[in-house]
A and B are shown apart, each in its own frame.
Chain A
Amino acid sequence: MISGAEIMVKCLQEEGVKIVFGYPGAVICPFFDHLYDTDIQAVLVRQEQNAAHAASGYARAVSKVGVCVATSGPGALNLITGIATAYMDSIPMVAITGQVRSDVLGRDVFQEADITGACESFVKHSYLVKNTEDLPRIFKEAFHIAATGRPGPVLIDVPVDVQENMIENFEYPEKVNIIGYKPSVHGHPMQIKRAMEMIAQSKRPVICAGGGVLTSGAKPKLREFSKRTNIPVVSTMMGIGVMPSNDPLYVGMIGSHGTKAANKTIHEADLVILCGARVGDRAVASPEQVVEHANVIHIDIDPAEIGKNMKTTIPIVGDIKNVLYQMLKSIDYSAPDEWLNDIRSWQENYRRIPEKFEGFVEPKTFISKLSSMMHSKSILIADVGQNQIWCANNFQVSDGRFFTSGGMGTMGYSVPAAVGAKFARPNRNVVAVCGDGAFQMSLNELATIAQNHLNVKIIVMENNVLGMVHELQDMHYGSRYAITELSNVPDFRQLAAAYGIDSACACSNEEAEQYAKQMLKSSKPFILICKIHPKTSSR
């Protein structure tokens, strides 16, 4: 005989899960009790939302499904923001929640919340398990759904009696058969042929690469495609890292916070090749202006993204890696030099020199400098706010990764995501960059970092204001700083000391660079506080 809880653990083992991030509670106890005997690591976070963010950071770093676990009611509800954040950024994740006994479901008992109902619009799929016998099939399906097609979070809600019930034996299904779920991964040959013809006729083509390129593992293929065809590349925020920052064919990030040259490129193009980009409002504010004089080839694994935000001339549904592979087999095209010269001249002309304030760190120059000190495969995780824009536009990537909450814009993402990423990649530099606002949303995770001796580096851009909104108030609200001032910011160095974490505080770029060197050398966690002038702009 075997219990449901033991089955759940066995399912995780079958899926090759090495680590889960979670928080316990009464109705998830049977599961954690069985997990305790295995070599699957259970990491205790300090708030459930961070379990989901940590699972997200882990999933991104290893391109595998991240797992987070919480109890029923408040535990599950705290997960929601993390699950929704993962959903918006297409992160493969399985979230497991305990639930009250199935015979009292719906009676509003202690710590009961309808979590499958609450999460409906933020998950790729969800299960409320009614029978212990169903667990193996559901786990198999959940991991399959989370990782394939356009990845996303899947929720499994398991009542405590389903965990306790005993059944005869455990058998993990070998195959998944979900009749309504068969994502197409190969682009249609006819569509690819049409796309190639369209490329051949274009004079000013541009590739717009989104997060889907990284999810697909198509980075090398995309780099090859761009090199072979001489087609310049712009990226969305989620697509940062698709091209090396210093590649002559890489123009920069598009969007309301992107570079002027990249935006100009996409608006002047006669052909836009969208690769795994959903053309969110932050990436392209007015897609109708772009399509006025450009054809659009849209490659995406999710057919629902094609034509949703931008009119498409040629849709190609498939995995970008496969589609580019198919295209590379016969492509014979080179973008005209005039087009590239135009772009280069925009890049030159629109270069901005950041404004410096005496006695403060200039963050853009610093981020750029910091990336040159980091190993080439480092992971930089930006939080949300001005720090996100500073990082996105100035992090010099070669083979490293850039993680951020791109779609949802969830403040407090960077520190817990760094925890997950570090567990996934212990030998790489993992650096979280956040503002003093976001840091105070997630600093409870310093305890997790200290407890696990995690060599995570945190850079806190301290400007004593909620900078992004503060800037917005300067532009649109007559500089009336309604609830954006963070007066009496705690002494973060003392706080770090309380957790036994090393720290330093920089008031100039020279200091910041010197401490950053020290920070990256250290084998222990480190918090570097950079004093930023509150008037430092995002751009």
Chain B
Amino acid sequence: MKYTLSVLVENHPGVLSKVSGLFSRRGFNIDSLAVGITEDSHISRMTIVADGDEYVVEQLEKQLNKVIPVIKVRTYTEGGFISRELSLIKVNCPAKQRLDIMKIAELMDAKIVDVAVNTMTLQFADTLERFETLTDLLKPYGIREIVRTGTVAIEKDSAAQHKQTV
């Protein structure tokens, strides 16, 4: 099962390697890790999507809590959070197909950020499921390159019943 963990850390150099190293050396599988500064410039938030069972996620939370610069760890419960991923997709696009791809972009709410003679680049910010739909639609044209940020997630205000470890 996929788990989305939100980890608040002190914004020090070396913290990222402390956290990411923990995953590999304890044999946890990690799907994505995104990190950025929060509203407080001394604190960063890491959003980690990990794969595993209940034992794994419990261990993960506990081991993360042991890392000294880690301030708080939360595992988001299903339906209690909003997640997004930003991706840039460069797709083959000779002149005669330009309109088709523009149609797909419009339909999927993707933004065209670059057009060249033979390619077009789309910017897409949405959920993982929608990303998969978009890439399925673009595949027939030939996808050249995909760059993804990894998932970031924020808790819904209504979701008061989150799982929290202290």
Give 1 or 0 for each of B9-34: 1 = CB within 8 Å of chain A CB. Answer: 11000100110010001000000000
The reply to whether the CB of B70 lies closer than 8 angstroms to some CB of chain A is yes
Known: A121-B25, A180-B10, A180-B69. A308 touches B17 (CB 8 A): no
Pairs A–B under 8 Å by Cβ, sample size 9: A117-B17, A180-B9, A180-B68, A180-B70, A180-B72, A303-B62, A304-B65, A307-B55, A307-B58
The reply to whether the CB of B163 lies closer than 8 angstroms to some CB of chain A is no
Name which residue of chain A comes closest to B71, CB basis: A180
Complex CA–CA separation, A178 to B67 (angstroms): 12
Complex CA–CA separation, A302 to B69 (angstroms): 16
B59 touching A308 by the CB < 8 A rule?
yes
Complex CA–CA separation, A128 to B18 (angstroms): 13
A181 touching B25 by the CB < 8 A rule?
no
A residues 102-127 touching B (CB-CB < 8 Å): 116-117, 120-121, 124-125
Residues from chain B with Cβ under 8 Å of A307 in the complex: 55, 58
Complex CA–CA separation, A303 to B59 (angstroms): 10
- Residue of A128, A303, A307 with most chain B CB atoms under a 10 A cut-off: A303
Known: A121-B21, A304-B59. A116 touches B14 (CB 8 A): yes
B65 touching A303 by the CB < 8 A rule?
yes
Name which residue of chain B comes closest to A311, CB basis: B55
The reply to whether the CB of B96 lies closer than 8 angstroms to some CB of chain A is no
4 pairs of A and B residues whose beta carbons are closest in the complex = A304-B62, A180-B71, A125-B68, A180-B70
Known: A179-B71, A181-B68, A307-B58. A120 touches B63 (CB 8 A): no
Complex CA–CA separation, A125 to B68 (angstroms): 7
Complex CA–CA separation, A302 to B25 (angstroms): 19
Residues from chain B with Cβ under 8 Å of A124 in the complex: 68
Complex CA–CA separation, A181 to B59 (angstroms): 18
A128 touching B59 by the CB < 8 A rule?
no
In the complex, which of the residues A120, A128, A179, A180 contacts B21, with contact meaning CB atoms closer than 8 Å? A120
How distant is B7 from chain A, measured CB to nearest CB, in Å? 10
How distant is B72 from chain A, measured CB to nearest CB, in Å? 8
Residues from chain A with Cβ under 8 Å of B66 in the complex: 302, 304
Complex CA–CA separation, A395 to B47 (angstroms): 51
How distant is A152 from chain B, measured CB to nearest CB, in Å? 10
Residues from chain A with Cβ under 8 Å of B68 in the complex: 124-125, 145, 178, 180-181
How distant is A528 from chain B, measured CB to nearest CB, in Å? 42
How distant is B20 from chain A, measured CB to nearest CB, in Å? 10
Complex CA–CA separation, A465 to B105 (angstroms): 74
Complex CA–CA separation, A178 to B12 (angstroms): 13
Give 1 or 0 for each of A147-182: 1 = CB within 8 Å of chain B CB. Answer: 000000000000000000000000000000011110
Residues from chain A with Cβ under 8 Å of B25 in the complex: 121
Residues from chain B with Cβ under 8 Å of A303 in the complex: 62, 65
How distant is B60 from chain A, measured CB to nearest CB, in Å? 10
B17 touching A120 by the CB < 8 A rule?
yes
Complex CA–CA separation, A98 to B166 (angstroms): 36
Residues from chain B with Cβ under 8 Å of A181 in the complex: 68
Complex CA–CA separation, A307 to B71 (angstroms): 22
B18 touching A120 by the CB < 8 A rule?
yes
Name which residue of chain B comes closest to A149, CB basis: B66
A residues 179-195 touching B (CB-CB < 8 Å): 179-181, 184
Residues from chain A with Cβ under 8 Å of B17 in the complex: 117, 120
Complex CA–CA separation, A402 to B72 (angstroms): 38
Complex CA–CA separation, A116 to B18 (angstroms): 10
How distant is B45 from chain A, measured CB to nearest CB, in Å? 13
Complex CA–CA separation, A302 to B58 (angstroms): 14
Name which residue of chain B comes closest to A179, CB basis: B71
How distant is B40 from chain A, measured CB to nearest CB, in Å? 11
How distant is A178 from chain B, measured CB to nearest CB, in Å? 6
Residues from chain A with Cβ under 8 Å of B14 in the complex: 116, 128
Complex CA–CA separation, A180 to B14 (angstroms): 15
Known: A121-B25, A304-B59, A308-B59. A179 touches B10 (CB 8 A): yes
> Given A304-B59, A304-B62, list of 13 further CB < 8 A pairs?
A120-B21, A121-B25, A124-B68, A128-B14, A145-B68, A178-B68, A179-B10, A179-B71, A180-B68, A180-B71, A304-B65, A307-B55, A307-B58
Complex CA–CA separation, A181 to B10 (angstroms): 11
Name which residue of chain B comes closest to A117, CB basis: B17
Name which residue of chain A comes closest to B15, CB basis: A180
Give 1 or 0 for each of A260-303: 1 = CB within 8 Å of chain B CB. Answer: 00000000000000000000000000000000000000000011
Name which residue of chain B comes closest to A128, CB basis: B14
Residues from chain A with Cβ under 8 Å of B55 in the complex: 307
How distant is A158 from chain B, measured CB to nearest CB, in Å? 15
Name which residue of chain A comes closest to B26, CB basis: A121
Residues from chain B with Cβ under 8 Å of A302 in the complex: 66
How distant is A190 from chain B, measured CB to nearest CB, in Å? 14
How distant is B165 from chain A, measured CB to nearest CB, in Å? 8
Complex CA–CA separation, A51 to B55 (angstroms): 38
Complex CA–CA separation, A121 to B24 (angstroms): 11
How distant is A301 from chain B, measured CB to nearest CB, in Å? 11
A residues 369-417 touching B (CB-CB < 8 Å): none
Residues from chain A with Cβ under 8 Å of B18 in the complex: 120
Residues from chain B with Cβ under 8 Å of A120 in the complex: 17-18, 21
How distant is A412 from chain B, measured CB to nearest CB, in Å? 25
Complex CA–CA separation, A121 to B20 (angstroms): 11
Give 1 or 0 for each of A118-142: 1 = CB within 8 Å of chain B CB. Answer: 0011001100100000000000000
Complex CA–CA separation, A267 to B5 (angstroms): 37
Residues from chain B with Cβ under 8 Å of A116 in the complex: 14
